[in-house]
Amino acid sequence: MIALLIRDLRLAMRAGGGFGLGLAFFLIVTVLVPFGVGPEGTLLARVAPGVLWLGALLACLLSLDRIFALDHEDGSLDLLATAPVPLEGVVAVKACAHWLTTGLPLTLAAPALGLLLNLPGPGYGWLTLSLAAGTPALSVIGAFGAALTVGLKRGGLLLSLLVLPLYVPTLIFGAEVARRGAEGLATATPFLLLAGISAGTLALLPFAAAAAIRINLR
């Protein structure tokens, strides 16, 4: 299992593996927002928490198809399915590798990007906290979506379509935490709900994802 984690991280680091690209995408989306909605500081400050959460979500989304699709194309997934490791574990490890290479860097970079969007002072801590609590859920839900679409050539867009609705609760609570934090309101309730979503998906979705992969390999 650790071998798999190491392999996935190593693949992410190698040329073309895409480590850091999610981050760059996040940066670019944040930069593009003012071009779209105009440069006024107050307007940007109001949309900042939401935009940052959306940007993080999209950056996650774009890297999802790496989770299983590549392994399916080159046949590794067949081989992993016949290897002496439980497929549920494979899913969990791959979601974890995805989080380490995408969610974690996003969380760490978010405050710097908050600066670009005039995020109000108290918002920084809450933004980081909410992302730290929410991105694991994004990775696991994404892994489930990737498992559903693994057999399809360029399932990328379909994957987005399947996964985005599943992301809605995470996004709502996450953005709510960040927004309330930025405005200095109480954040306990949405934060607990967010953490609950993360914990729940982490515990259950690997099983669903493994089942989906088994069906797709047939």
List residues near its own copies by CB under 8 A.
Answer: 16, 18, 21-22, 24-25, 28-29, 32-33, 35-38, 43, 46-47, 49-51, 53-54, 57-58, 62-63, 65-66, 69-70, 152-158, 160-161, 164-165, 167-168, 171-172, 175, 179
From residue 85, give the alpha-carbon distance in Å to each of 1, 19, 80, 145, 212: 7, 26, 7, 21, 17
User: Shortest approach of another protein to residue 132 CB, angstroms?
Assistant: 19
Contact call for residue 84 and another protein (CB under 8 A): yes
Residue 152 interacting with another protein (CB under 8 A): yes
206 lines the binding site for another protein (CB under 8 A) = no
Task: Name all contacts of 8-11 with Cβ < 8 Å and 24+ positions apart.
Answer: 8/93, 8/94, 8/97, 8/98, 9/97, 9/100, 9/101
C-alpha to C-alpha distance for 143 and 121, rounded to whole angstroms: 34
- Are the CB atoms for 59 and 129 separated by under 8 Å? no
The option from another protein, its own copies, none interacting with 86 (CB < 5 to 8 A, set by class) reads none
Q: Is 185 in the site for another protein (CB under 8 A)?
A: no
Residue list 29-48, contact with another protein (CB under 8 A): 31, 34-35, 39, 41, 44
Q: Does 192 bind another protein (CB under 8 A)?
A: no
Q: In angstroms, give the least distance from the CB of 67 to another protein.
A: 14
Min separation Cβ 123 and another protein, Å: 14
